[in-house]
């Protein structure tokens, strides 16, 4: 294919989700020439692709939004407590228009290759249509839940029905009168089941692992609450940034402080009252903020695990079905889900739970087999999750200094410096990406905070006339940091996207920082200070050397 040369920029941003749009705003604000490349035909990132029925955010809308512009905060109104996928897209389109981003966004541009050109100190970016662009800086905003995980089931090619993927949902899907099989009972499957079940003639839920899920209790946004937040959004954002979850809205109010240091330090009655209050508030944030040791201490965790198990027993009428829907691993060792009628769907006569943990799914023509049992399905829905955090970057062939590939750099562990860069990949940054605490933060705010650090590094590198490339020792330190935070939690007790165990053979050491967004940003800024010191020193060396040659 003939390559088309397209231009050279100070910075190239990849991905037009929350992170990428803000990265573009920030880079332009810094006076840099920047362009954004997006594979999809429209902006939105994961919110563009994941438009399955029931898709909505699981932290409150007032928290899941940008803070960088007071005007934007004041003028935008969310219609629901938890915005639906369409409204989130509307918001992102509004941002793109309001800040004049559209001319700098190139849609339908899937980046296939990123090559650092050593003797030019810049990145060469090639897209699937063989267009070549160059940028001195490269900001990867490729998303941490964006690379779909497509399981390979035996004989799937022979399936004669329709296959729908939650991550590539069509404009229209009609379930009426159909027999539907859903695979996947994580946040996505939990959100879509009630919608699909309300239309389909028969629904089978093929469950490998049951989910802990709590009622979302979505409602129309209360005007009075919106006004309260907007009265001092700056303070709200400050409190949000100080929270271990990156979100503080619970039940259309600000969350109270944690009730105690430990779930075990209060009486049973007090603890139950707090859990009941969280249950009534709706959503997951209340639970995450209730006691700080729920994700770390097995006995504390057991109190909440049992609380939710008992709720499942009450929500599902058939006790035998309820027992099969009850998880046996610690709550929050996978991300807690929030639902609107998930368990109640199993009380409908046409919704059937099928366990596939032992036999998996086999296809041979129409329908599907689980062991020797055959299920007649017209539509197979895959809600099977993501190759999270590193997956999107692995889909691009990235080579750094000396032609070293990022894949080989990350062969044994995900080596990052501060969850922002890797050694040998100069001037490349990722936002809400590997090694960061994106999974515990509000991604729009984390994008702003990480981009502030990126901005400092770019200013330092440009004024020193050198590239930013962290030394390997910083990666070693960060690996230790990430490892220590992971082993201090109960997350290794379950197979999930957090620890990479949902993808067979995946290398995930160092992939995620679990010390919380507050500590993460402290450490990230310390990392940046050291990197900038190094940049300034090498800038001085370069200037002195040039001076010597000039003399």
The least distance separating ligand NAP from the CB of residue 521, rounded to whole angstroms, comes to: 20
Say if strands 351-355 and 202-207 run parallel, antiparallel, or are unpaired: parallel
Q: Which stretch binds ligand NAP (CB under 6 A): 73-81, 109-117, 442-450, 495-503?
A: 495-503
337-356 binders of ligand NAP (CB under 6 A): 338, 356
Q: Between 58 and 462, whose beta carbon lies closer to ligand NAP?
A: 58
**Residue among 50 and 423 whose Cβ is closer to ligand NAP:** 50
> d(Cα 371, Cα 358) in Å, to the nearest integer?
8
Q: Using CB under 6 A, which of 51, 136, 335, 506 touches ligand NAP?
A: 335
Phi, psi of 275 (to 5 degrees): -65, -40
User: Does residue 57 touch ligand NAP according to CB under 6 A?
Assistant: yes
Radius of gyration (Cα) for the chain, nearest Å? 24
**In the beta sheet, which residues pair with residue 379?**
162, 180
Q: Is 245 in the site for ligand NAP (CB under 6 A)?
A: no
Q: Is 58 in the site for ligand NAP (CB under 6 A)?
A: yes
Number of H helices, E strands in the chain: 17, 17
> Closest CB to ligand NAP belongs to which residue?
186
384 binds ligand NAP (CB under 6 A): yes
Tell me how far, at minimum, the Cβ of 144 lies from ligand NAP, in Å. 9
Specify whether the CB–CB gap between 96 and 105 falls below 8 A: yes
145 near ligand NAP, rule: CB under 6 A: yes
Which one of 124, 142, 179, 188 is in contact with ligand NAP (CB under 6 A)? 188
| 418 vs 443, beta carbon nearer ligand NAP | 443
Which of 77, 100, 108 is CA-nearest to residue 90? 77
- Examine residue 191 and tell whether it contacts ligand NAP (CB under 6 A): yes
Q: Which of 33, 209, 277, 525 binds ligand NAP (CB under 6 A)?
A: 209
Q: Which stretch binds ligand NAP (CB under 6 A): 379-387, 397-405, 429-437, 483-491?
A: 379-387
Among 180, 274, 383, 523, indicate the residue that binds ligand NAP (CB under 6 A): 383
Nearest to 482 by CA among 443, 449, 431, 519: 519
301: closest CA among 215, 212, 216? 212
The alpha carbon of residue 326 and the mean position of all alpha carbons in its chain are separated, in whole angstroms, by 25
Residues 165-184 that bind ligand NAP (CB under 6 A): 183-184
Asked if residue 436 binds ligand NAP (CB under 6 A), the reply is no
534 binds ligand NAP (CB under 6 A): no
Using CB under 6 A as the criterion, what x/- string covers residues 105-144 for binding ligand NAP? ----------------------------------------
Nearest-angstrom CA–CA distance, 184 and 180: 13
State the CB neighbour count (10 A cutoff) for residue 144. 28
- Is residue 146 near ligand NAP by the rule CB under 6 A? no
CA-nearest of 365, 337, 430 to 143 is 430
Question: In the complex, what is the shortest distance from the CB of residue 471 to ligand NAP, in angstroms, rounded to a whole number?
Answer: 33
Nearer to ligand NAP, 337 or 393 (CB): 337
Give the Cβ contact number of residue 293 at 10 Å: 17
In the list 187, 390, 437, 489, the residue contacting ligand NAP (rule: CB under 6 A) is 187
Q: Which residue has the tokens 């899920």?
A: 213
Find the shortest distance in angstroms from Cβ 187 to ligand NAP: 4
Measured between alpha carbons, how far is 214 from 126 in angstroms, rounded to an integer?
44
Q: Among residues 298, 307, 312, 383, which one has the least CA distance to residue 52?
A: 383
Could you count the other beta carbons within 10 Å of the beta carbon of residue 346? Answer: 22
DSSP state of 502: T
| Percent helix / strand / coil, the chain, rounded to 5 | 40, 20, 45
Nearer to ligand NAP, 156 or 253 (CB): 156
Q: How far is CA 196 from the centre of its chain?
A: 24
**Of 193 and 524, which has the nearer Cβ to ligand NAP?**
193
Question: β-strand 34-37 against 4-14: which pairing, if any?
Answer: parallel
Handedness of CA 446, 451, 452, 456 (dihedral sign): positive
In the complex with ligand NAP, the residue whose CB is nearer, 283 or 435, is 283
Residue closer to ligand NAP, measured from CB, 142 or 399: 142
Nearest residue (CB) to ligand NAP, 30 versus 40: 40
We find the least distance from the C-beta atom of residue 151 to ligand NAP, in angstroms, to be 3
CA-based end-to-end distance of the chain: 49
The yes or no reply on residue 208 touching ligand NAP (CB under 6 A) is: yes
User: Given candidates 53, 215, 327, 385, which one binds ligand NAP under the rule CB under 6 A?
Assistant: 385
Contact by Cβ (8 Å): 214, 279? yes
Comparing CB distances to ligand NAP, the nearer of 352 and 530 is: 352
Which of 44, 161, 181, 186 touches ligand NAP (CB under 6 A)? 186
Taking CB under 6 A as the rule, does residue 151 contact ligand NAP? yes
Q: Tokens for 248, please give them.
A: 């503080």
Find out whether 534 and 467 touch, Cβ atoms under 8 Å.
Answer: no
**Considering beta carbons, is residue 126 or 501 the nearer one to ligand NAP?**
501
Residue 84 near ligand NAP by CB under 6 A = no
Within 13 Å, how many C-alpha atoms sit on residue 266's CB side? 20
Q: For tokens 């003939």, name the residue.
A: 2
Task: List the one residue from 127, 240, 502, 514 that touches ligand NAP (CB under 6 A).
Answer: 502
Query: Per CB under 6 A, does 330 bind ligand NAP?
Result: no
423 binds ligand NAP (CB under 6 A): no
- The number of residues that bind ligand NAP (CB under 6 A) is 24
Q: DSSP readout, 429-494?
A: EESS-TTS-GGGS-HHHHHHHHHHHHHHHHHHHHHHTS-----HHHHHHHHHHHHHHHHTSSGGGS
> Contact positions toward ligand NAP, by CB under 6 A?
57-58, 145, 151, 183-189, 191, 208-209, 335, 338, 356, 383-386, 495, 497, 502
């Amino acid at each position: 294919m003939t390559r088309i040369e397209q231009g050279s920029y100070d910075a190239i941003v990849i991905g037009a989700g929350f992170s990428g749009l803000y990265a573009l705003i920030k880079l332009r604000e810094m006076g840099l020439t920047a362009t954004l490349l997006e594979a999809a035909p429209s902006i939105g990132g994961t919110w563009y692709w994941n438009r399955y029925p029931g898709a909505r955010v699981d932290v409150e809308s007032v928290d899941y939004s940008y803070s960088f512009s007071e005007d934007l905060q004041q003028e935008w109104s969310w219609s629901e407590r938890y915005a639906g996928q369409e409204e989130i897209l509307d918001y992102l389109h509004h941002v793109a228009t309001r800040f004049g981003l559209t001319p700098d966004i190139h849609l339908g541009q899937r980046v296939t290759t990123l090559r650092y050109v050593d003797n030019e100190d810049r990145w060469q970016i090639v897209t699937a249509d063989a267009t070549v662009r160059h940028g001195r800086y490269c900001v990867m905003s490729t998303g941490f839940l964006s690379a779909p995980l497509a399981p390979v089931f035996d004989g799937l090619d022979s399936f004669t029905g329709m296959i729908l993927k939650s991550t590539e949902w069509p404009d229209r899907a009609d379930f009426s009168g159909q027999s539907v099989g859903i695979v996947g009972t994580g946040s996505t499957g939990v959100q879509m089941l009630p919608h699909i079940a309300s239309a389909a003639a028969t629904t089978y839920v093929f469950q490998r692992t049951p989910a802990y899920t709590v009622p979302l209790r979505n409602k129309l946004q209360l005007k009075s609450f919106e006004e309260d937040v907007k009265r001092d959004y700056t303070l709200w954002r400050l409190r949000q940034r100080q929270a271990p979850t990156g979100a503080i809205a619970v039940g259309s109010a600000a969350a109270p402080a944690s009730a105690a240091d430990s779930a075990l330090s209060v009486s049973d009655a007090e603890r139950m009252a707090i859990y009941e209050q969280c249950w009534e508030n709706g959503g997951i944030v209340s639970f995450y903020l209730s006691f700080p040791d729920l994700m770390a201490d097995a006995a504390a965790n057991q109190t909440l695990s049992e609380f939710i198990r008992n709720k499942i027993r009450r929500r599902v009428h058939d006790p035998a079905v309820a027992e099969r829907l009850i998880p046996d691993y610690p709550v929050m060792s996978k991300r807690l889900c929030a639902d609107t009628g998930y368990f109640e769907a199993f009380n409908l006569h046409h919704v059937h739970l099928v366990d596939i943990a032992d036999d998996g799914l086999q296809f041979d023509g129409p329908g599907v087999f689980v062991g020797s049992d055959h299920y007649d399905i017209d539509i197979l829905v895959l809600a099977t999750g993501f190759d999270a955090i590193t997956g999107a970057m692995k889909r691009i062939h990235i080579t750094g200094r000396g032609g070293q590939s990022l894949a080989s750099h990350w062969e044994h562990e995900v080596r990052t410096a501060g969850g922002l860069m890797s050694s040998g990949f100069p001037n490349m940054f990722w936002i809400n990406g590997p090694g960061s605490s994106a999974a515990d933060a509000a991604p729009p705010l984390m994008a702003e905070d990480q981009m502030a650090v990126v901005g400092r590094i770019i200013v330092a590198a440009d004024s020193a006339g050198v590239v930013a490339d962290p030394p390997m020792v910083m990666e070693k330190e960060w690996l230790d940091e990430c490892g220590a935070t992971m082993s201090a939690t109960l997350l290794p007790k379950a197979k999930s996207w957090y620890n990479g165990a949902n993808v067979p053979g995946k290398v995930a050491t160092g992939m995620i920082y679990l010390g919380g967004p507050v500590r993460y940003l402290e450490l990230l800024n310390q990392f940046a200070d050291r990197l900038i010191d190094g940049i300034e020193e090498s800038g001085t060396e370069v200037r002195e050397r040039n001076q010597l040659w000039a003399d």
